[in-house]
A and B are shown apart, each in its own frame.
Chain A
Amino acid sequence: MFGIRREEREAAFTAFMTSASPSLTRTAWLLTGNGDAAQELVQAALVKTYVAWPRVRDGQALAYARAVLVNHHREQWRKFGREASVDETPEPAVLAELRSPTATSDDRDQIIRLLDHLPPQQRTVVVLRYYADMSEQAVADQLGISVGAVKSAASRGLAALRPLASAAAPSAAESASTTTPTSREGTLS
């Protein structure tokens, strides 16, 4: 009736969830920029994945869960409207600073503030392309849009992010002009 016994399903899913939760949670957080919303999103995706577990192919569980997560996020956005925009402009930040070994979690939150400036579709494309490392074709398939639309959204997203990051880091930009190709920390473009 279940396809597999409940104990077997729970055991296999527990192992999957343990390994996949960090990645899914980070994806959800990048998409929503909100801890509570990210938790809801990941939980909903995992529950649906659990229900569909007998149908999920080996090795494809993470991709399946991520697809559910992204679809659910898009559905939520369509139904409940635009996410709340931030009141304040992003704090000065450069991407290189964000990935500095000495950066604090607050510093890293700044990437969220940058992403908050993107429209939902651009944000989703940027996250899937540059965090989930999905191909343009895969993103297109996931979102049900053309590859051209993915390219356009990614391009526009990067174009929007670049000046935000650059303008916020004049000192880093200056240092970037003197760095070598093998030492790109601080380089924004």
Chain B
Amino acid sequence: MSTDFEQDLRLSLGSAEPPTSAMPELSVVLDQGNRAVRRQTVRRVVVGTAAVAAVAIASATWGPTSGLKADQLPGASTPATGVIPLQPFTANDPVGTTTVAGSFDVQRRILTITVGGEDPTVTPTIMPTITVPEVVTAPIVSVAPGRPDVITVLPAEATDIDIDATPRMRHAGTLGAALGAPALGFAITYAVLSGPARSDAAVRSVSWTTASGQRISTLGDRVDPVTVSLADGREASMWVLDKAGVLALSGPVKGEFFTIRLGDFVDSLPLVYAGQGNSANSQVSWFAAYLLPAGATDATVTYLDGFSPKTAMILTPAPGGRTFAVLDLGATAKDVKPIRTFTWRDAAGVVHTEKP
């Protein structure tokens, strides 16, 4: 029999008013949901059709074991050449269990990290690749545009890792043990941003404890956000973390964020950074962003099909005296096309053509 107290409790619980901020956004849910559906679909396609070839390529590239002998795994010995898989580890994010795996090209020192889902056989999302220096002394951060995942490469000795990010990190330092490749001289951590999966995964600092117990907390080149004026008169905030290899652009529309993985061209053109970001809202155009030497002008993009969109070019002074160019690709996430070339003119008038 229901008591008066129970009735009052029912009414009180029913009248509780959660803060309006607790209500999820439809666009974010649909975006995440469609991404998850896509991963399932891709996996089915792989399994159902080109299974042999796809699996062979995948396992050779980032498969967790791919037929390697035990002494080839990190922690045993450091092979001199070849692409070796890293020991996968699992982490828990707000949407479920995530498997973090990857491979390391020893000769080229290129680290490729993949983030999977609850189903370990689902085709994982590949994070932006990282070029790892011979000796890791500062943190290197990899953020995939539009995803909440943050990969950090740290010195192998790092413990008690903490990440200060915008938006706040959830379970930073505890998600995924600092596994990875200690025998290779670095450790990899995985963390996930709290709240809705937005693209402004801007890591401000990374802290860790060294083997001697010293606490280090820095990215070394933290740059406070600067306000940039866009071509159409609107303003946005931007900040660049060179060592982290992250450029983040906030705005101009409220709630619009872009995180751009820098460094794609670093090897060949140290002064030119490039990356591509997309908004959390899939209906918003994709952008290409470039950080160019001071005085650069005439940045243009040409698609693979030869079409050159009428870009909303934005040139503005960027931190370090450089020039920041954002080009509206005029395409949504649904129909974005690969970029064939990117050209720009330096201060001396010389035209440079880059192929991403």
Residues of A in contact with B (beta carbons under 8 Å apart): 1-2, 6, 10, 13-14, 17-18, 21-22, 25-26, 28-30, 35-36, 38-44, 46-48, 50-51, 76, 79-80, 95-96, 98-99, 103, 105, 108-109, 111-112, 126-127, 130-131, 133, 158, 161-162, 165, 184, 187-189
Contact = CB atoms under 8 A, between A and B. Distances in A.
Contacts, number: 149
Nearest to B29: A46
B232 interface: no
Contacts of B11: 95, 99
B16 interface: yes
Contacts of A80: 92, 171
A130 B15 CA distance: 12
Interface string B159-187: 00000000000110000000000000000
Given A10-B30, A40-B195, A99-B11, A158 B16 contact: no
Contacts of B30: 10, 13-14, 50
Interface string B287-307: 000000000000000000000
Given A1-B41, A29-B22, 6 more contacts: A1-B45, A2-B37, A40-B194, A48-B95, A95-B9, A187-B5
B17 A187 contact: no
- Ranked nearest first, the 8 interchain pairs of A and B with the lowest CB-CB distance are A50-B33, A29-B18, A131-B13, A95-B8, A43-B24, A35-B19, A38-B22, A95-B12
A112 B28 CA distance: 27
Given A51-B33, A51-B37, A35 B18 contact: yes
A161 B92 CA distance: 33
Q: Binding site of B, secondary structure by majority: helix, strand, loop or mixed?
A: helix
Given A17-B29, A47-B32, A30 B13 contact: yes
B189 to A, nearest CB: 17
Contacts of A44: 94-96
Contacts of B16: 26, 29-30, 98, 108-109, 111-112, 131
A96 B8 CA distance: 6
Given A6-B34, A99-B8, A39 B21 contact: yes
A189 B3 contact: yes
17 contacts: A25-B22, A36-B22, A36-B194, A40-B194, A43-B24, A43-B29, A43-B94, A43-B196, A44-B95, A44-B96, A46-B24, A46-B33, A48-B96, A76-B92, A76-B94, A80-B92, A112-B16
B22 A28 contact: yes
B8 A21 contact: no
Nearest to B45: A1
A40 B10 CA distance: 25
B26 interface: yes
Contacts of A43: 24, 28-29, 32, 94, 196
Pick the most buried of B7, B12, B15, B96: most chain A CB atoms within 10 A of its CB.
B12
Contacts of B5: 95, 158, 162, 165, 187-189
A95 B30 CA distance: 38
A39 B3 contact: no
A47 B95 contact: yes
Contacts of A13: 30, 33
A36 B193 CA distance: 12
Contacts of A6: 34, 37
B40 interface: yes
B233 interface: no
A67 B37 CA distance: 20
A188 B22 CA distance: 30
Nearest to A14: B26
B6 A130 contact: yes
A111 B13 contact: yes
A75 to B, nearest CB: 8
A59 B5 CA distance: 31
A28 B95 contact: no
Interface string B189-206: 000001110000000000
